[in-house]
């Protein structure tokens, strides 16, 4: 990242994220880095999504005041009846539909803001999530605008995997198995609204320390089209983590302080996953059988109607009777949002059982924590493949072809023991620590991440 100094205030950046927690988080972190270079940043979303992302962000309130937030009201889609995609095996297909439909209602207010900002700036830089192409489609009418697509998924996912990696094609997940039909149609519809004529390049939520070979392949492809790419992660290490911790978060970290190094398994399945009671019981039994200490974040997946009504993050899920009492001192079940990076970077954390959301994968790798992969949907099966078969920094709790089956306590116990207490787990930990050290070097002066940021900031302020 370029050191903070006064740059031309006539360059203005508009950030347009998709309406999902991980997309919102990454766009906010990207906004903090850009604004730290004295470049005005405007961040747009629905009113309640802005409230959600700022309340959960690790950055301080003072930092957030440098960013201009624009919250727009959207129709109460949560009050309308929606039919779940019949092809989907995931537990939140209806929520995917709601978010996709809700995002399309932002086009009109975003267009008005685009025109207002364009009239006051020498250059308007629009950084938009690829799932928000229809929302920013009117930018083509502005004479002083240029666009940069922001990809928050792995670069690995976008490659032609059958040709680029040494993995049998039958082991590569199909798009049909990962994305419900509605989301495949929605993604295809967004591609029709390409603003490629104005696009100067793409920003990727990745880094060369983790995805170096994939990034090089993509860069070679994009160079042929005269487009630049920037791999700008880790964003969380280029911004100041200074938000005051809540009391329950302090209790978590104090409990970790009392544990042996690398002895605690952290378990979280992201902001959208809701587990069945039967599956929760199997996880509890597997953890108890393993004898491994743990922090288990057990939340219901976020729902739009809960966000609107201020009830997001509440959990109705219950562990088996007596489980928490039996596990007292061995583990903690948490039912609220937690500071994930703080937990992963703690010396006592030795493993992460994860849904393999891309943010979670990279945060875990950056902290040198091996992953027990349990993909649920979307890009997660590809990320799990990258973790276990390419980088070899994790083990599988379940394989993707088992996605419709109950994951049993014995499967969970086996994966936990393998990653936390086996020679194979020790070798995996050595590999992930080596990558973590390379990630840390990347944010130092002259490191890959810093150079990427210097290049991007220099480009948009040229």
- Tokens representing residue 453 in the block: 């940021």
Tokens of 27: 């766009």
Do 385 and 395 touch, CB atoms closer than 8 A? no
d(CA 232, CA 1): 9
Q: Which of 180, 30, 24 is nearest to 90 (CA)?
A: 180
- Please tell me the distance from the alpha carbon of residue 365 to that of residue 163, in angstroms, as a whole number: 26
Query: Could you list the active site residues?
Result: 23, 129
- Sign of the CA dihedral running 251, 257, 261, 263: negative
Q: Count other Cβ atoms within 10 Å, centred on residue 78.
A: 16
Q: Which of 184, 21, 22, 191 is nearest to 97 (CA)?
A: 184
- Kindly report the number of other CB atoms within 10 A of residue 315's CB atom: 15
The answer to whether the CB of 296 falls within 8 A of the CB of 269 is no
Q: How far apart, in whole angstroms, are the C-alpha atoms of residue 278 and residue 298?
A: 14
Q: Cα–Cα distance between 450 and 442 in angstroms, integer?
A: 7
Contact 387, 394 (CB under 8 A): yes
- Our measurement of the distance from residue 88's CA atom to the centroid of its chain's CA atoms, rounded to an integer in Å, reads 21
> Which spans in 166-320 are helix H?
175-178, 181-191, 208-223, 247-257, 277-290, 304-308
Is there a contact between 124 and 145 (Cβ–Cβ < 8 Å)? yes
Residue 169 is classified by DSSP as G
């Amino acid at each position: 990242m370029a050191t903070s100094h006064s740059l031309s205030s006539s360059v203005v950046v508009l950030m347009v994220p998709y309406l999902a927690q991980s997309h919102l988080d990454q766009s906010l972190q990207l906004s903090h880095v850009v604004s730290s270079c004295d470049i005005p940043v405007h961040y747009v979303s629905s009113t309640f999504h802005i409230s959600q992302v700022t309340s959960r962000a690790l950055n301080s309130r003072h930092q957030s005041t440098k960013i201009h937030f624009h919250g727009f009201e959207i129709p109460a889609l949560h009050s309308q009846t929606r039919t779940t995609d019949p092809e989907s095996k995931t537990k939140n297909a209806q929520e995917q539909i709601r978010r996709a439909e809700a995002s399309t209602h932002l086009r009109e207010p975003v267009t008005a803001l685009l025109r207002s900002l364009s009239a006051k700036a020498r250059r308007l830089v629009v950084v938009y999530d690829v799932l928000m192409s229809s929302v920013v489609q009117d930018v083509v009418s502005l004479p002083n605008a240029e666009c940069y697509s922001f990809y928050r998924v792995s670069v690995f996912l976008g490659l032609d995997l059958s040709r680029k990696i040494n993995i049998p094609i039958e082991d590569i997940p199909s798009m049909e198995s990962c994305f419900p039909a509605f989301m495949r149609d929605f993604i295809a519809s967004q591609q029709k609204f390409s603003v490629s004529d104005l696009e100067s390049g793409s920003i990727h939520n990745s880094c060369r320390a983790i995805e170096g070979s994939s990034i090089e392949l993509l860069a070679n492809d994009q160079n042929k089209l005269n487009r630049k790419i920037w791999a700008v992660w880790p964003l969380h290490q280029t911004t100041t983590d200074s938000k005051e911790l809540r009391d329950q978060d302090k209790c978590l970290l104090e409990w970790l302080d009392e544990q042996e190094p690398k002895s605690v398994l952290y378990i979280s399945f992201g902001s959208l996953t809701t587990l069945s009671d039967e599956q929760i019981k199997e996880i509890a039994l597997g953890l108890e059988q393993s004898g491994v200490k743990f922090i288990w974040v057990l939340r219901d997946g976020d729902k739009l109607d809960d966000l609107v009504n201020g009830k997001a993050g509440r959990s109705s899920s219950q562990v088996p009777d007596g489980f928490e009492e039996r596990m007292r001192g061995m583990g903690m079940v948490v039912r609220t949002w937690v500071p994930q990076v703080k937990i992963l970077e703690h010396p006592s954390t030795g493993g992460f059982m994860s849904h393999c959301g891309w943010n979670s994968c990279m945060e875990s790798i950056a902290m040198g924590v091996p992953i027990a992969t349990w993909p649920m949907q979307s890009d997660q099966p590809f990320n799990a493949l990258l973790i276990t078969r390419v980088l070899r920094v994790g083990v599988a709790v379940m394989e993707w072809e088992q996605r419709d089956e109950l994951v049993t306590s014995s499967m969970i116990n086996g994966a936990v023991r393998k990653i936390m207490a086996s020679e194979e787990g020790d070798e995996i930990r050595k590999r992930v620590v080596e990558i973590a050290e390379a990630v840390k070097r990347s944010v130092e002066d002259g490191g890959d991440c810093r150079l990427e940021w210097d290049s991007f900031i220099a480009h948009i302020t040229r």
